[in-house]
């Protein structure tokens, strides 16, 4: 097995999906507003992603089906099953629609940097995604996603070296501290890394590369390598943006995002950031509708066929909602930040079901969670629930 095939595949698709415009924007906001002080929150998010995505990948590998199917197969009580389907469907609909709006808004930022502002950009981007999804050529984008992950990693790594950050301050940023003043930013970092729809997407796509004869060790290796690379990009974005703290007071446009690449690309920084945001926006805008389709497919027992009209209705709905939200005139940066927070608030619900099915011997037989996997998963779940409740409480204080 070649090095590329061994370490890059479905997990790389997941990493590339969370390294979208939302991650670039959220990590830039974190760096500009707090310097390096929220690196610990990002490290926590990366660890959580590795643990939860491993559970999703293991589920998909053993059962050769998705998380939606697993939820309906393990819940025997009809009332509980219907309640679970309703809750998960609502979470996926709201979360994916918000995330899709953020993806399209990110693509708009890219087009504005490259060409200039136009009111029709949401429709143009939505149309491109619609065509790719309709003709089924989105599989070709997977190679582009892998190239994008590697290219972005190199660009931000070089920039992080050029800005010469204070290494002592960077290391201190990984020390956990009370997030009260930056609660929404912490939640946004969590929501842009541990993306709920990725848990459905990973389980559904894992069988396309890893058959039941594969080794669990190989799958776990691919999972860790891909997510660590994606996490490294996020960390590097925070570090580069943090080095500009004081020089950039706020982030309102794509031009503000591009400033951090000027040490490497000079006056061409806005074009490089524009291409990156556009590519990341389109690629992420393809995965969110597909993930919603896979989730619905499993929850409602539809045939595993991407040409099924019901599957198409789901991804069309998510794409349309994303276009509508991106078109109504809200600033793209605000839409993107809201999308990450919304996903973080919905994460505990999806994680509860994932942990539950990962302990089902009926489904996973000898591959259920071991004691330490459960301890870590439940601890992470508890922390995300606390953060979600604190954030909701803060939101309600405004009313």
For 34-76, what is each residue's pLDDT tens digit?
888 999 999 999 999 999 999 998 988 888 888 888 888 888 8
| Residues ≥6 apart with Cβ < 8 Å to 304 | 65, 297
pLDDT tens by residue, 323-350: 988 888 667 777 777 777 777 788 888 8
Q: Domain coordinates of the chain in residue numbers?
A: 3-366
Question: What torsion do the CA atoms of 182, 273, 234, 225 make, to the nearest 10 degrees?
Answer: 160
What burial letters (b/e) apply to 269-304, b meaning 16+ CB within 10 Å? Answer: bbebbbebbbbbbbbbbbbbbbbbbbbbbbbeebee
pTM as predicted: 0.86
- Around 245, how many Cα atoms within 13 Å sit in the side-chain half-sphere? 18
Give the integer Cα–Cα distance in Å for 287 and 138. 9
- For 95, 100, 112, the CA distances from 326, given in Å and listed in that order, are 15, 9, 14
Each of the 399 residues of the chain gets a pLDDT tens digit; together they read: 455 555 566 666 677 667 778 888 888 888 888 888 999 999 999 999 999 999 998 988 888 888 888 888 888 888 888 888 888 888 778 778 888 888 888 888 888 888 988 888 889 999 988 988 887 765 666 566 567 656 767 777 888 888 888 889 899 999 988 777 788 888 888 888 888 888 887 877 776 666 665 678 888 888 888 888 888 888 988 888 888 766 666 677 777 778 777 887 888 888 888 888 888 788 788 888 888 888 888 888 887 777 788 889 999 999 998 898 888 866 777 777 777 777 778 888 889 999 999 999 988 888 999 999 999 999 999 988 888 887 776 666 554
For the domain with range 3-366, which CATH number is right: 1.10.2020.10, 2.30.30.40, 1.20.1740.10, 3.40.50.300? 1.20.1740.10
SS3 8: coil
Q: Three-state DSSP class for 361? A: helix
The angle at the Cα of 282, spanning 270 to 311, to the nearest 5 degrees, equals 170
């Amino acid at each position: 097995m070649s090095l590329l095939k061994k370490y890059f595949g479905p997990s790389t698709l997941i990493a590339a999906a969370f390294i979208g415009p939302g991650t670039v924007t959220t990590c830039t906001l974190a760096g500009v507003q707090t310097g390096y002080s929220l690196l610990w929150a990002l490290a926590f998010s990366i660890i959580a992603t590795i643990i939860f995505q491993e559970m999703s990948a293991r589920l998909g590998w053993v059962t050769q089906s998705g998380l939606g199917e697993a939820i309906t197969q393990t819940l025997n009580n009809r009332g509980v099953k219907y309640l679970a389907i309703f809750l998960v469907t609502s979470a996926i609909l709201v979360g994916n629609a918000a995330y899709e709006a953020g993806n399209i808004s990110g693509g708009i930022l890219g087009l504005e940097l490259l060409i200039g502002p136009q009111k029709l950009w949401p429709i143009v981007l939505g149309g491109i995604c619609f065509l790719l999804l309709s003709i089924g050529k989105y599989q070709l984008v997977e190679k582009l996603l892998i190239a994008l992950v590697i290219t972005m990693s190199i660009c931000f790594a070089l920039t992080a070296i050029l800005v010469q950050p204070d290494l002592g301050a960077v290391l201190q940023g990984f020390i956990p501290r009370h997030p009260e003043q930056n609660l929404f930013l912490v939640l946004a970092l969590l929501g842009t890394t541990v993306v709920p729809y990725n848990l459905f997407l990973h389980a559904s796509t894992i069988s396309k590369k890893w058959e039941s004869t594969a080794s669990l060790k190989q799958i776990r290796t691919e999972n860790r390598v891909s997510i660590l690379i994606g996490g490294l990009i996020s960390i590097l974005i925070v570090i580069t943006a943090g080095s500009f703290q004081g020089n950039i007071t706020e982030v309102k446009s794509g031009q503000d995002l591009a400033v951090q690449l000027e040490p490497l690309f000079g006056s061409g920084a806005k074009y490089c950031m524009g291409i990156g945001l556009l590519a990341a926006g389109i690629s992420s805008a393809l995965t969110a509708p597909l993930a919603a389709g896979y989730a619905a497919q499993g929850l409602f027992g539809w045939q595993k066929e991407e040409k099924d009209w019901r599957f198409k209705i789901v991804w069309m709905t998510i794409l349309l909602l994303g276009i509508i939200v991106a078109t109504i005139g809200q600033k793209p940066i605000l839409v993107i930040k809201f999308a990450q927070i919304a996903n973080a608030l919905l994460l505990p619900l999806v994680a509860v079901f994932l942990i539950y099915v990962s302990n089902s011997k009926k489904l996973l037989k000898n591959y259920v969670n071991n004691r330490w996997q459960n301890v870590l998963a439940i601890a992470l779940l508890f922390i995300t629930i606390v953060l979600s409740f604190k954030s909701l409480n803060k939101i309600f204080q405004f009313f």
